[in-house]
Amino acid sequence: MGVASRFILRRRGGKSWHWTDVVTWVWLLGGLIIMFGPAVWLAFSSFKTPAALAEFPPSILPYVTSQATVQGYDKPLQLFEAKMPDGSTKVLAEVRRIGLVAQMVDPKAPGEIVRVNIGDRTPVRSVSFATENYTTPFTQFDFLRYLWNSVFVTVTATLITLIVNSMAAFALSKYEFRGRSLAMLIILATLMVPLSVIMVPLYSIISSLGLFNNLWGVILPTVATPTGVFILRQYMLTIPDELIDAARMDKASEWQIYWRIVLPLTAPALAVLAIFSVVWRWNDFLWPLIVLSRRELYTLQVGLSIYSGELNVQWHFILAMTVVTMIPVVLVFIFLQRFITTGIAGTGLK
């Protein structure tokens, strides 16, 4: 606890290193490795061949083993660095391996076969990016179509979420009416109910509304988020009622008050909700997977799941496409980042 307050109290004009500075930097650098490391590794792994992906010990960078064409052999042979009996090392090409012994040849003098214990040889490897992990799916995978569907779902759902949630939040924060606490109670009570729990009945509703295999079947169930109403209402409570009363004196209609006064003042909170909504809808997987089973309707997340077969999963494609699908969300974050802190600051403060 003392440490914590020290942090806050610490002022500019560094004296010598206080131990809290050490803690700070250990925490930050540790955080950098733990938070970023896995993602960087994921990005590198997406360039690995299927064989390299399955290999242990795993490598950070994508490697392939070097091969060389040797006279007298039809196929390119794999190159190894072998330890010779006299202690020197030499680059040799492996002809074949029988048990513990590898038969190898010198690529420059392919006549003579050298026998090397397999423990004494290490493959010669070079960094190589398997870009076909990216290019193949792009050709056999209707990427633009899926991208469009994802964008459509994300943008539409986010817009509707912002509009209907902010309207509801406005009503719940700025009006006194009968049933207000009840409405608030119902919304808050369902805050915690996850979609996966109501999946069975929701599916039958979607199905009877004819929204099955329809992008609206993905959009509509997600837009009336209790979380959004909750966040926006908390923020709107901070807007002084005097502003609204003054507007009413000026004969502004309620819709104008909502649109001209309340919404602009709620902008930071709306930005936060927008970011969340984009991230949530973009990454939605389970529900779209259930509702959409036609190729032309797939979102990106559903599209990349087709590489999971019954018996095998084609990880190299999944990884590559995962990296591609991450890019738009990261871009949105970079653009809206400046709103996040201010927006969040407001939602917490009452």
Partner 1 sequence: MSTTSLTDRLGSLLMAPVHLLMRIIDIPLRAVQKATGIGGMAAVFLAPNMLIFGIFVLLPLVINFVYSMTGGTAFFLSERNFVGAEQYQRLFTCTNYLDPMSCQEDAFWTAVGNTFWFVVLQVTLMIGVSLITALILNRDLAARSFWRAVFFFPVLLSPVVVGLIWKWILQRQGLLNFGLYQFGIEPYTWLTDRNWTFIATIGVSIWAHMGLYTLILLAGLQAIPKDLYEAAEMDGTKPARVFRRITLPLLAPNLLVVVVLALIKAVQIFDEVYVLTGGGPGTSTLYLTQYIYETGFASALRNPGLAAAASILMGLVLVVLTLIQLGIGQRGEKKGKR
Partner 2 sequence: MKTKSLLAGAALALLVSTAAHAGDVRIMWYSDGVEGDVMKDLVGRFMKENPGINVILDNVAYSVIKDQLPVQLEAGNGPDIARVTAIKDLSRHWLDLRPLVKDAKYWDDNFGAQADWMRPDGSKQISGFMTQITLTGGYANKTLFDQAGVPLPGPKATWEEWAAASKKVKDSQKLPFAMAIDRSGHRLTAPLLSYGANYVGKDGKPAPLDKGAKDFLTKFVGWVGEGSFAKDVWVSAAGSTYRAAAEDFINGQLAFYYSGSWQVANLTTKIGNSFDWVATGSPCGPAACTGMPGGAALVAVKYAKNPKDVATVMDWFAQEKVVKEFSERTLFLPGHKGVVDKGGLDFKTDNAFAKAALTKYVEASKTTSDTALKLPGWRWSDTVYAAIVTRVGQTLAGELKLDDAFTRIDADIAQKVKDSGL
**Using CB under 8 A, which of the segments 17-25, 188-196, 272-280, 303-311 binds partner 2?**
303-311
Q: For partner 2, how many residues bind (rule: CB under 8 A)?
A: 42
Report the site for partner 1 in 319-338 (rule: CB under 8 A): 322, 325-326, 329-330, 333, 337
- Owner of token pair 């509703």: 205
Query: What's the closest the beta carbon of residue 98 comes to partner 1, in angstroms?
Result: 26
* Residue 279, binding choice from partner 2, partner 1, none, Cβ under 5 to 8 Å by partner class: partner 1
Q: Taking contact as CB under 8 A, which single stretch among the options 51-59, 75-83, 97-105, 116-124 is the one that binds partner 1? A: 51-59
Stretch of 177-185, 259-267, 306-314, 330-338 lying at the interface with partner 2 (CB under 8 A): 306-314
CB of 57 to partner 1, least distance (A): 4
Which one of 4-12, 81-89, 92-100, 103-111 is the stretch in contact with partner 1 (CB under 8 A)? 4-12
Contacting partner 2 (CB under 8 A), which of 100, 182, 249, 334?
100
Q: Which is nearer to partner 2, 20 or 214 (CB)?
A: 214
Question: Does residue number 98 form part of the binding site for partner 2 (CB under 8 A)?
Answer: yes
101 near partner 1 (CB under 8 A): no
Tell me whether residue 6 or residue 125 sits nearer to partner 1 (CB atom): 6
CB of 24 to partner 1, least distance (A): 5
- Structure-token pair, residue 4: 């914590």
Nearest approach in angstroms of CB 84 to partner 1 is 27
If the CB atoms of residues 159 and 265 are measured against partner 2, the closer one turns out to be 159
Residue 213's binding partner among partner 1, partner 2, none (Cβ under 5 to 8 angstroms by kind) is: partner 2
**Residues 154-183 close enough to bind partner 2 by CB under 8 A:** 160, 163-164, 167
> Is 309 near partner 2 (CB under 8 A)?
yes
108 contact choice in partner 2, partner 1, none (CB below 5 to 8 Å, kind-dependent):
none
Using CB under 8 A as the binding rule, the residues of this chain from 214 to 243 that contact partner 1 are 220-221, 223-224, 226-227, 229-230, 234
Which residue of 220, 267, 324, 340 would you call a contact of partner 2, by CB under 8 A?
A: 220
Distances (CA, A) of 136 to 9, 160, 294, 318: 56, 36, 21, 12
Q: Which does 194 bind (CB under 5 to 8 A by kind): partner 2, partner 1, none?
A: partner 1
State the minimum distance, in angstroms, from the CB of residue 210 to partner 2.
Answer: 6
What are the structure tokens assigned to 181, written together?
Answer: 């606490």
Q: Tokens 């056999």 sit at which residue?
A: 140
Chain center to CA of 255: 38
Q: Nearest distance from residue 22's CB to partner 1, in Å?
A: 12
Q: What is the 3-state secondary structure (H, E, C) of the chain?
A: CHHHHHHHHCCCCCCCCCHHHHHHHHHHHHHHHHHHHHHHHHHHHCCCCHHHHCCCCCCCCCEEECEECCCCCCCCEEEEEEECCCCCEEEEEEEEEECCEEEEEECCEEEEEEEEEHHHEEECEEECCCCHHHHHHHHHCCHHHHHHHHHHHHHHHHHHHHHHHHHHHHHHHHCCCCCHHHHHHHHHHCCCCCHHHHHHHHHHHHHHCCCCCCHHHHHHHHHCCHHHHHHHHHHHCCCCHHHHHHHHHCCCCHHHHHHHHHHHHCHHHHHHHHHHHHHHHHHCCHHHHHHCCCHHHCCHHHHHHHHECCCCECHHHHHHHHHHHHHHHHHHHHHHHHHHHHHHHHHHCC
In the complex with partner 2, which residue's Cβ is closer, 191 or 286? 286
How far apart, in whole angstroms, are the C-alpha atoms of residue 254 and residue 274?
Answer: 24
**Whether 98 contacts 115, CB under 8 Å:** no
